[in-house]
Structure 1
């Protein structure tokens, strides 16, 4: 286990990581983690960016190669953001353990205390004994959050103190997974010193030479964020409902005026009212779509990006028979993505077709780039206006001009980034290309029991 600061430099690392890399433990401190990555540095950077930009604590695992005394070592790395207000990231490395590290595993946990003191979230070390998580140690944050001293809970079942009675079955399943050596991640409700709170829970299992089954439980309080999100959802529903009803009335009255007046100026004004009402209705519908996508959370699954793209292109081609759409696809390519990725691809293809002139030409490609899939949509239209492009691909700041027309592009960005991917833009020789980069499926794509994670 190790801790990275906001500049990706190692702040603290256990002895086993130093041994695994074949370096002195002291030399790790202050060194960029990427300097030890021999293959997959781009993935390391993307995952670090993803967990840091999440509005609530998040984690992500992936495979890469580390350099161990000049030899490549294939490992699985997981990054966890310990607190939403910090750029620090906790990392763990699984796999690649050989005889060089086994002697360190028995004493490694004695050094975890220093690491946990640097984390603002509640952390508990437990040993699974007869199926129960028996507390072996806790950090100071646990005492302040849950209201129990280390002396009170040490040697006791953690569930007896913090798990509500009706959620015992859920907690038991987490404990079984820890005993089996499987990680846990879910949003859970726990009892605290100030009443029930909601937490992002991450469980990290590990073994010791004594044969015991151990694990670390990290609890990040997300109650305030979730309550704020619920209030915002209620306000959004009320506003959309009222807006839709009032627009229906305005449009109906304007249409009646247009149909009954003999005055050309009045008819023209009424027509503009109808057009404005339709535009606002479309914006309201698109904002609902964006809300639905964001509410769907960050759960991902294996998706064949080629199959998704073919479905989108077939549907778009039927709606635009005047267009020419060409493709370059492999037979299949599995990526980690959420269910909304098809909506993002559809938005990009539809936008290219609608803004490509009378007879648009669109070229869509899919290819593999190392551990990433690249989907590119190219068209010969006039390009994306600066008012829409710069906030999404530039400094990320929304402006008064792009709230309505640029919402579709923001939607694509949110969907792609929620899957751990990124969006890129290029305008060269009269051609506009939007690139979607998505992580390929890895063996670490395993589901955990409990509630799905959300992005807020």
Structure 2
């Protein structure tokens, strides 16, 4: 049987693979290395769309001449040398298109290395917008966190001094100053939670890691008992077990306890943190694969719109995005560990926000 350019026998499989390549969204180039130079044999429609070069113009030409900036030629030749040696390449690269430079994940896949020349595929996944957005978010995150935290510290500090010097008989002025102080502390909390979110998103979890739920929950509860003595924080840790997570799990538990206290208008908010291992569905009483942490309160129910946005069940808009970062922090943290955040009602009369995690 004859073989096509991919080295497969002409038994119909080549047509199937080519059909697949033509419909993938990544730019794909089929090339042949001739004296170390990758000559284009064919390109898919996505390459034409992304790079802006006509397929008839680039066939038979050096791929490097068309897509590699001059100052990146040494890098490209090193990748070509790896391909010629039969190695698969993975690298983030900058390449030129008809409209300018763009960033790609490049994968060079050789085939047909047993003959006098080497053929290969160059696959380019466009990362331009993703990379730019990541950089923009990083800049915004750093600037906003720094400026918000600094300004909030200034406001909170001066307001505390103002409260100490105010005539306590002027209740209206005192209330205004106290409101300003609370708002400043909320800004400080937002900056802190934004930093935690960044830490969650920027670090992959260690798949081998586990944490003891009892230790995490107990530590958070102790902190709020000291910092918010008016709140009643109780624990039920009878079912606590190690779960697949790392130390960042504390962010989620802390955020939910903080929400339960902060958004409760009662002079003595009640919060109960309960750990409940799920049981196998066969009813034999054995522990199942999952453990649920319940953070319950007696405060107002979280609005459905806010819950739905956090759970990706509703679109984020200017008026529908959540009142703070606490629920977002909890959701993103739990998601990182392959778990789930969900909402219900508690017999305390308020919310039951649940963190479901796999047991170790």
- Over 3 Å counting, the alpha-carbon distance change for 1:174 and 1:274 in structure 2 is farther
Confirm or deny that 1:277 pairs with 2:174.
no
Structure 2 residue aligned with 1:347: 251
Deviates more, 1:188-197 or 1:167-176: 167-176
| From 310, 323, 331, the counterpart of 1:404 | 323
| From 386, 390, 393, the counterpart of 2:308 | 390
Q: Is the 8 A contact 1:254 1:274 kept in 2?
A: yes
- Over 3 Å counting, the alpha-carbon distance change for 1:104 and 1:320 in structure 2 is farther
Aligned residues: 321
Distance 1:115 1:177 in 2: 23
Structure 1 residue aligned with 2:196: 289
Confirm or deny that 1:423 pairs with 2:327.
no
- Residue 363 of structure 1, CA deviation: 0.6
Partner SS, residue 303 of structure 1: coil
Confirm or deny that 1:434 pairs with 2:354.
yes
- Over 3 Å counting, the alpha-carbon distance change for 1:378 and 1:105 in structure 2 is farther
- Over 3 Å counting, the alpha-carbon distance change for 1:289 and 1:379 in structure 2 is closer
- Over 3 Å counting, the alpha-carbon distance change for 1:245 and 1:104 in structure 2 is same
- Residue 411 of structure 1, CA deviation: 2.5
- Over 3 Å counting, the alpha-carbon distance change for 1:166 and 1:316 in structure 2 is same
Partner SS, residue 210 of structure 2: helix
Q: Is the 8 A contact 1:128 1:179 kept in 2?
A: no
TM-score by length of 2: 0.65
- Residue 215 of structure 1, CA deviation: 4.7
- Residue 377 of structure 1, CA deviation: 1.5
Q: Is the 8 A contact 2:341 2:355 kept in 1?
A: yes
Confirm or deny that 1:306 pairs with 2:226.
no
- Over 3 Å counting, the alpha-carbon distance change for 1:163 and 1:293 in structure 2 is farther
Structure 2 residue aligned with 1:9: none
- Residue 138 of structure 1, CA deviation: 0.9
- Over 3 Å counting, the alpha-carbon distance change for 1:105 and 1:263 in structure 2 is farther
Root-mean-square deviation (CA, aligned residues, Å) is 4.7
Partner SS, residue 211 of structure 2: helix
- Residue 410 of structure 1, CA deviation: 1.5
Structure 1 residue aligned with 2:223: 319
Distance 1:118 1:144 in 2: 12
Structure 1 unaligned runs (5+)?
1-101, 441-456
Confirm or deny that 1:377 pairs with 2:296.
no
- Over 3 Å counting, the alpha-carbon distance change for 1:302 and 1:152 in structure 2 is farther
| From 275, 291, 300, the counterpart of 1:363 | 275
TM-score by length of 1: 0.54
Distance 1:328 1:313 in 2: 9
Q: Is the 8 A contact 1:323 1:360 kept in 2?
A: yes
- Over 3 Å counting, the alpha-carbon distance change for 1:105 and 1:380 in structure 2 is farther
Structure 2 unaligned runs (5+)?
1-6, 226-233, 262-268, 282-287
- Residue 273 of structure 1, CA deviation: 1.6
Structure 2 residue aligned with 1:246: 151
Highest RCO, 1 vs 2 (Cα 8 Å, sep ≥ 6): 1
| 1:264-296 alpha-carbon deviations (Å, 9 max, x no partner) | 3123332222112111221233234334544x2
Structure 2 residue aligned with 1:17: none
